[in-house]
Amino acid sequence: MLHVTNGDSAVDAMRRAGITGDIVPWRDVLHDGPVPAGLPPDALSAVRARFIAAQGWGDEAQVLRGFRARDAALADFARHDAVVLWFEHDLYDQLQLLQVLDFFQDRDPLPVPLTMVGASEYIGPAAPERITHLFAGRQPVTAAQLALGRIAWRAFREPRPLQWAALLGEDTTALPYLRAAILRQLEQLPSAHNGLSRSERQALEAIDAGAATLADAYRRSHHEREEAIWMGDSTYAAHLAVLSDAPTPLVLMDDGAPIVPPRGDRPADAFWPRRAVLTDAGRDVLAARADHVRLNGIDRWLGGVHLTGNESAWRWDADAGRLVGAGG
């Protein structure tokens, strides 16, 4: 049996629960960095490995080897007697699920049973008996789920977010956690009001409210504010660094130095106990008296959308629940 899941924490939990077979962790933060349209899987894996290495999250060659081993294991699925997909309800997992469903859409009808554990909880910290219960409750993947997975995966990779946003008006109940993931990814676009993504705004709000340490800011702004936890601490630190290492910094360490995320010879245990403070510009942006993108520009990928320049073409108006920008 082949199991496909989100990462190493889930793999460990499944092993502790006695789940047998080959377990393949996906290990990709698809909500950040380029996921451009028009690339075959091997080329896309190379793009993703390059991005992850550029963030300091791994060695490019090693990450690429891992992706290629993962892709090869998936391509060889028919040698197993069944395939089980284990993905949670949060944005991180839902994007991975779309990529995997898109792969299987090309192989329909499938030569072996394909089932899914659709967990509205986190697999990694789950007790062994809960993992066993989830496994027993797995359900066949339907044609409607495969079709919607393909539609959504292609929309996510489009160079304009119009098709991705349009899915909010479509029937996505075949994948019950997809709609929330679509909306959450749209909220990562710059705000129409101040140029901050939702994650950036929540981070600045937590620091402005007096978070004692960077670890405390992460907990307050993500774990306590999100409907479903989806961002790892390394990604969070990278987002803070962008706000800090800017022409007009919005946040700095309390000694006035820029925020530099842990990587290489900069250990995490020396990073997270430190404290950050907002600059005057940070307070102005947070109050919508200034705009982060207009002050500092942007060079960021969200799926297939590449945001660049000082007047981002695409923004999200959370109050109106709609895209703002060229063609929006």
Lowest mean pLDDT among 43-47, 92-96, 117-121, 318-322: 117-121
pLDDT bin (cut points 50, 70, 90) of residue 108 is confident
Assess whether pLDDT exceeds 80 at residue 167.
Answer: yes
Tens of pLDDT, residue by residue over 126-164, are: 999 999 999 999 999 999 999 999 999 999 999 999 999
Asked if residue 323 lies in contact with residue 315, where contact means CB atoms within 8 angstroms, the answer is: yes
Q: What DSSP designation does 224 have?
A: T
Domain 2-159 - what CATH class? alpha beta
62: its two tokens: 């090693």
- pLDDT exceeds 90 at position 266: no
Is residue 255's pLDDT more than 90? yes
Assign 267 a pLDDT band (cuts: 50, 70, 90).
confident
Taking the C-alpha atoms of residue 236 and residue 115, their distance in angstroms, rounded to an integer, is: 33
Is 306 a residue whose pLDDT tops 80?
yes
pLDDT at site 312 = 82
Dump the DSSP string for 255-267.
TSPPP---BTTB-
pLDDT confidence tier of residue 311, bands split at 50, 70 and 90: confident
Question: In the predicted model, is pLDDT for residue 303 greater than 50?
Answer: yes
Buried b (16+ CB within 10 A) or exposed e, 67-101: beebbebbeebeebeebbbbbbbbbbbbbbbbbbb
Q: Is the pLDDT of residue 325 over 90?
A: no
- Region of residue 235 (left: phi > 0; alpha: psi -120 to 50; beta: else): alpha
Under the banding of pLDDT at 50, 70 and 90, the label for residue 326 is: low
**Residues whose CB falls within 8 Å of the CB of residue 164, separated by 6 or more in sequence, listed in order:** 152, 155, 156, 158, 182, 185, 186, 303
| Residues pairing with 191 in the sheet | 316
**Whether the predicted pLDDT of 291 surpasses 60:** yes
Instruction: Output the six-digit token pair for 227.
Output: 């409907």
The domain segmentation of the chain, as residue ranges, is 2-159, 198-325
In this predicted structure, the answer to whether residue 33 has a pLDDT above a threshold of 60 is yes
Residue spans of alpha helices (H) in 209-314 = 214-218, 233-244, 280-286, 292-296
**Per residue in 40-70, pLDDT tens?**
999 999 999 999 999 999 999 999 999 999 9
Under a CB-based contact definition with an 8 Å cutoff, are residues 261 and 241 in contact?
yes
CA 85 to chain centre: 18
Q: Using the 8-state DSSP alphabet, how is residue 243 labeled?
A: H
pLDDT of residue 327: 42
Q: What is the pLDDT of residue 241?
A: 97
For position 70, what pLDDT does the model report?
A: 97
| pLDDT band, very low/low/confident/very high, at 118 (cuts 50, 70, 90) | confident
The first and second tokens of residue 192, run together, are 């129409």
**What does the alpha-carbon distance between residue 205 and residue 199 come to, in Å, rounded to a whole number?**
10
Task: Express as a percent the part of the chain with pLDDT over 90.
Answer: 94
Say if strands 2-5 and 83-88 run parallel, antiparallel, or are unpaired.
parallel
Residue 258 has pLDDT above 80, yes or no: yes
Residue 328 clears pLDDT 60, i.e. is over it: no
**How much is the mean pLDDT over the chain?**
96
